[in-house]
């Protein structure tokens, strides 16, 4: 090729380099492999170190402030929603902590845990699994999502919600237990936003060294299928089974409002397979939790969350 021809070729090609077709916009997706169980375990240790978090006590208020500060550092828009509701102890102050990552569309996806401890257990109750483990995993998930969102905005707005008052003081009822989630759903309905929620993914008791998820019957079938697929893809399908019973938990008010919801709970937290005898006892301590279990829970949740963002569980079938 002589110099003139080369020059001609370069001139002809030049405009092309300036108007390359834009790279196809990629989908917002989180990388499950980036969920770090050791980091979640360190998070759990710090959180449990704060002490008991019984609803309506200074310990719960302190835990709410802590969660707010932890997520603020990750770049999420943070809010503490303080409200007063009747409880067996009279009018009680509760606080939901909400981290928000705005998306480009109008839909919402909620990932949640409660953070309060069951009162009256004694023995310097840690609530390491119930509710420290899920609180730590949701904190890590929020951090992971915030880092990804700094590069590319998600399509759906992601809400990372920490509910107060999940534990009942006496008996579950209209004025006891599920306080934070009931209040949250009421607000969604009041603001006309309930129909915008694609799914609510609840984590509760997700750190047992012997991880055996027992997904309660009162979860949305489509989300169950997607969860089991996520577990299969993470090569931990055998740790997930369908529980033959319903479990009253923070996902329930969402289901009642017609919002697809699922509860990732391991309700076999005990001294031997099939038992749940550590639950709501002083035995629920950090020595029963493993970083590996937190990692599995986190990574499976990432895969489920990706599926929810990519698809829509509200669409039938």
- Placement of tokens 């845990």 in the chain: 113
Binding mask 80-119 for Zn ion (x = CB under 5 A): --------------------------------------x-
- Closer by beta carbon to Zn ion, 54 or else 156: 54
By CB under 5 A, residue 176 contacts Zn ion: no
Instruction: Work out how close the CB of 303 gets to Zn ion at its nearest, in angstroms, rounded to a whole number.
Output: 26
By CB under 5 A, residue 130 contacts Zn ion: yes
Structure tokens at 77: 């828009």
Instruction: Work out how close the CB of 284 gets to Zn ion at its nearest, in angstroms, rounded to a whole number.
Output: 9
Instruction: Annotate 132-176 with three-state secondary structure.
Output: HHHHHHHHHHHHHHHHHHHHCCCCCEEEEEEECCCCCCCCCECCE
By CB under 5 A, residue 252 contacts Zn ion: no
DSSP bridge pairs for 247: none
Instruction: Work out how close the CB of 107 gets to Zn ion at its nearest, in angstroms, rounded to a whole number.
Output: 30
- Angle in degrees, CA 100, 65, 247, rounded to 5: 70
47 with 132: CB under 8 angstroms? yes
- Closer by beta carbon to Zn ion, 187 or else 276: 276
Number of H helices and E strands in the chain, helices first, is: 8, 8
- Closer by beta carbon to Zn ion, 107 or else 126: 126
Sign of the Cα torsion 221, 266, 177, 60 reads negative
Instruction: Work out how close the CB of 34 gets to Zn ion at its nearest, in angstroms, rounded to a whole number.
Output: 29
| Position of minimal CB gap to Zn ion | 130
Instruction: Work out how close the CB of 25 gets to Zn ion at its nearest, in angstroms, rounded to a whole number.
Output: 43
Interacting residue ranges for Zn ion, rule: CB under 5 A? 118, 130
């Amino acid at each position: 090729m002589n110099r003139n021809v080369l020059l001609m070729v370069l001139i002809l090609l030049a405009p092309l380099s300036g108007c390359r077709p834009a790279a196809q916009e990629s989908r917002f997706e989180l990388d499950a492999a980036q969920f770090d169980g050791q980091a979640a375990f360190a998070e759990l240790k710090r959180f449990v170190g704060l002490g008991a978090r019984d609803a309506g006590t200074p310990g719960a208020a302190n835990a709410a402030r802590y969660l707010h500060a932890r997520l603020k550092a990750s770049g999420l828009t943070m809010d503490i929603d303080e409200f007063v509701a009747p409880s067996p102890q009279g009018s009680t102050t509760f606080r939901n902590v909400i981290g928000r990552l705005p998306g480009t569309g109008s839909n919402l996806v909620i990932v949640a845990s409660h953070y309060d401890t069951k009162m009256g257990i004694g023995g310097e109750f840690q609530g390491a699994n119930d509710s420290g483990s899920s609180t730590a995993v949701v904190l890590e998930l929020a951090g992971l999502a915030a880092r990804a969102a700094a590069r590319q905005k998600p399509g759906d707005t992601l809400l990372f919600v920490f509910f107060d008052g999940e534990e009942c003081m006496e008996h579950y009822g209209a004025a006891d237990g599920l306080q934070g989630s009931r209040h949250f759903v009421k607000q969604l309905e009041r603001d006309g936003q309930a129909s915008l929620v694609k799914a609510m993914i609840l984590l509760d008791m997700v750190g047992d060294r012997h991880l055996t998820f027992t997904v309660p019957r009162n979860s949305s079938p489509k989300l169950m299928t997607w969860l089991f697929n996520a577990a299969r893809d993470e090569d931990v399908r055998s740790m997930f089974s369908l529980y033959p019973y319903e479990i009253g938990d923070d996902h329930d008010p969402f289901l009642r409002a017609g919002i697809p919801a699922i509860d990732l709970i391991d309700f076999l937290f005990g001294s031997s397979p099939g038992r749940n005898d550590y639950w709501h006892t002083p035995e629920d301590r950090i020595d029963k939790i493993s970083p590996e279990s937190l990692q599995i829970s986190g990574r499976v949740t990432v895969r489920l969350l990706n599926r929810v963002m990519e698809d829509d569980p509200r669409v039938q079938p």
